[in-house]
Amino acid sequence: DAGVIQSPRHEVTEMGQEVTLRCKPISGHNSLFWYRQTMMRGLELLIYFNNNVPIDDSGMPEDRFSAKMPNASFSTLKIQPSEPRDSAVYFCASSSQGGGNEQFFGPGTRLTVL
Amino acid sequence: SQKIEQNSEALNIQEGKTATLTCNYTNYSPAYLQWYRQDPGRGPVFLLLIRENEKEKRKERLKVTFDTTLKQSLFHITASQPADSATYLCAPPVSSNTGKLIFGQGTTLQVKP
């Protein structure tokens, strides 16, 4: 198995532009998580899905952020419009059950908003 | 609110020694706790899970303890090697019926040859 796949690996954009991050979870996993990691705030959960349904989006910072999971093998995190304070590493992770099981992380997308 | 604390200062030890990392939690009692390893430029990798009814768990040179009275988990690496140098994150769940984890800030371990 290729593991969790994220794209792009690096994204540099200008303030105000739309950014879309993509994630392909491990086949057979039914939970998907989007995290953001910064030096100041560490690893923060933004949103997670169970069986393609958003369960908890309380970590989404504001309306500029949105996430979708149209099917079991694909999810997107969109920021529109982007701001410099959104610069961070965004990780996607998947697991086989909602609770107690280990999470498998992707390599992350390093986002820089100028 | 639930709070997870790990030593923010880096831990520097000599190769061959035992490294001990601490994770303290407050304001709740998690049913289990996970430990992850993160290398620079990579995503965290799962290492061990310990449940509240387990005092200790081992995996090769790794040992994790879970003291529900002290509200603390200790993570030990015995016979440490330079390849063990990384950041280690503890992550208990928000509640027992959810996969949502709260990650600590992590402790960076540096093992010197």
Of B107, B67, B81, the residue nearest B18 (C-alpha): B81
- Tokens standing for residue A40: 């100041």
Element of type H or E holding B32:
strand B32-38
**pLDDT tens digits for A11-58?**
999 999 999 999 999 999 999 999 999 999 999 999 999 999 999 999
> What is the pLDDT, as a whole number, of residue A76?
98
Q: Which of B101, B103, B105 to mutate to probe the A interface, most A CBs <10 Å? A: B101
Cβ–Cβ gap B99/A33 under 8 Å: yes
Instruction: Please report the pLDDT score of residue A52 as a whole number.
Output: 95
Question: What Å distances lie between residue A47 and A5, B52, B100, CA to CA?
Answer: 17, 26, 9
Give the minimum alpha-carbon distance from B45 to chain A in angstroms, rounded to a whole number: 7
Q: Binning pLDDT at 50, 70 and 90, where does residue A98 land?
A: low
- Interface A:B, Cβ pairs < 8 A: 62
Nearest CA in chain B to A42: B105
Q: Are A99 and B96 an interchain contact pair (Cβ–Cβ within 8 Å)?
A: yes
Confidence of residue A99 (pLDDT cuts 50, 70, 90): low
Distance from CA of B26 to the nearest CA of A (A): 18
Per-residue pLDDT of chain B (113 residues), as tens digits, is 778 999 878 999 999 999 999 999 988 888 899 999 999 999 999 999 999 899 899 999 999 999 999 999 999 999 999 999 999 999 998 876 677 899 999 999 999 99
pLDDT tens digit string along A60-95? 988 999 999 999 999 999 999 999 999 999 999 999
Contact B46 A98 (CB under 8 A): no
Question: At residue A100, does pLDDT exceed 70?
Answer: no
- Tell me if B32 and A107 make a contact (CB, 8 A cut-off): no
Could you give the 3-state DSSP secondary structure of residue B40? coil
